[in-house]
Amino acid sequence: MRLEDFDFELPAELIAQYPPDSREESRLMVLDRPHRNILCGNFPDILDQFCPGDVLVLNDTKVIPARLHGTKATGGKIEVFLVRRLESNQEDWICLTKCSKAPKVGSRLLLGGEIEGTVLADGEAPYKVIRFTCAGDFHQLLEKVGRIPLPPYIRREDTSVDRERYQTVFARSKGAVAAPTAGLHFTRDILASLQEKGVEIVSLTLHVGLGTFLPVRVENILEHRMHGESFHIPEATADIINLAKKEGRRVIALGTTTTRTLEFALSGENMVKAGEGISDLFIYPGFRFRIVDALITNFHLPCSTLMMLVSAFAGRDFILEAYRRAVEERFRFFSYGDCMMIV
């Protein structure tokens, strides 16, 4: 499979730069796989796609204000982007840095006026390992001085609106540097309506990393390697999903991050295994889905691993047909864009 197999033409004006006025104002495209049918409507119509007994699985990760601005001890300006916290008793993070000259090991960084960083080591290029210290709680200060890490295709600085809207209403576990964007459409009222309909709602955590934005740099996609992302699946979540699979009820994944976590964390009996770890599962056409029966997602970048995942789930030709329809119908694309449900 070639990278160009997952390309499509997208007018730049369809890339959403701001969220809609309210979450549920997004549009919805439903892909009916058995009948190869495409339906267009509004996001609240998604309630009609659920049945009593369905299990909806959410990713409850919470985006942290991962961008810090400051200076090196030598005076030069620097931006530090927190990527992933290392397992330690300190605030040691794998980071990206943006400055005129990359800081050397041992360099001191003065960030946000209240946080100091020390470069501990060079990670795998272009990453650095940085230890952060401050007077007080690091995460409280991060909330105060950090900036929301909007995706690179949103060509503006973050605002106070993004503090709320680049976050799901069910976010609670801090650690992501990108939002699980399929969840941005859901309101508490819509989730309550699903429960009233008899849908079970459970959650897991996968801290979305920078890999979701990094381009695939190989022509043969089989040579691509995914970045690892930390996840946690509670025992109760695994039990509810496994019972649904045994009883023939649908498991519906809210987002590609949820999908990758569920399909990665399998036991030998094709059941979900509770626990935590690092997921680096790369899903592309030919993959056999064992847990996920339906998928709610957004519209993704051309030639991205997310395009490959939805192509694996719905079929590449069907996905490309749907994307052509989305362009014709002027759907909004990417993180703040419209929604797709594949059933």
pLDDT tens profile 41-55: 999 999 999 999 999
**SS3 of residue 239 by DSSP:** helix
Give the pLDDT of residue 137. Answer: 93
Provide the domain limits for residue 222: 3-63+163-342
- Give the full edge-to-edge strand order of the sheet including 200-206: 37-42, 27-32, 339-342, 294-298, 251-254, 55-59, 200-206, 229-233, 275-279
Q: Kindly state the tokens that stand for 112.
A: 């946000």
Provide the number of structural domains found in the chain.
2
- Residue 242 phi/psi, 5-degree rounding, is -65, -40
Q: Are residues 182 and 296 in the same domain?
A: yes
More confident: 270 or 307 = 307
Q: What mean pLDDT value characterizes the chain? A: 95
Instruction: With CA atoms as reference, report the closest residue to 280 among 257, 300, 253, 297.
Output: 257
215 preceded by a cis bond (ω within 30 of 0): no
> Does some domain include residue 151?
no
Confirm if 318 and 36 have CB atoms less than 8 A apart. Answer: yes
Confirm if 229 and 59 have CB atoms less than 8 A apart. Answer: no
Q: Kindly state the tokens that stand for 6.
A: 């997952």
pLDDT tens profile 114-140: 999 999 999 888 899 999 999 999 999
Give the pLDDT of residue 160. Answer: 94
What is the mean predicted confidence (pLDDT) over 83-103?
A: 91
Is 212 a residue whose pLDDT tops 80? no
Q: Are residues 204 and 266 in the same domain?
A: yes
Is 327 a residue whose pLDDT tops 80? yes
Q: Are residues 74 and 32 in the same domain?
A: no
> pLDDT category, 167, cuts 50, 70, 90?
very high
Give the pLDDT of residue 314. Answer: 98
Percentage of the chain modeled with pLDDT above 90? 90
> pLDDT category, 165, cuts 50, 70, 90?
very high
Q: What's 99's domain CATH number? A: 2.40.10.240
> Does some domain include residue 155?
no
Give the pLDDT of residue 1. Answer: 87
pLDDT tens profile 221-272: 999 989 889 999 999 999 999 999 999 999 999 999 999 999 999 998 889 9
Q: Are residues 178 and 50 in the same domain?
A: yes
Contacts with 19 (C-beta within 8 Å, 6 or more apart), sequence order: 161, 165, 166, 184, 336
Q: Are residues 195 and 322 in the same domain?
A: yes
Q: In terms of DSSP H, where are the helices of the chain?
A: 138-145, 160-165, 188-196, 235-246, 256-264, 305-314, 316-328
Choosing from 112, 145, 178, the residue where a domain stops is 145
Instruction: With CA atoms as reference, report the closest residue to 60 among 194, 153, 191, 245.
Output: 191
> pLDDT category, 113, cuts 50, 70, 90?
confident
Q: Are residues 78 and 59 in the same domain?
A: no
Q: How far is CA 234 from CA 110, 272, 273, in A?
A: 38, 10, 9
> pLDDT category, 64, cuts 50, 70, 90?
very high
What's the pTM?
0.94
> Does some domain include residue 154?
no
CA distance 259 to 309: 9
CA distance 334 to 102: 31
Q: What's 247's domain CATH number? A: 3.40.1780.10
The DSSP string of 66-102 is -EEEEEETTS-EEEEEEEEE-SSSSEEEEEEEEESSP
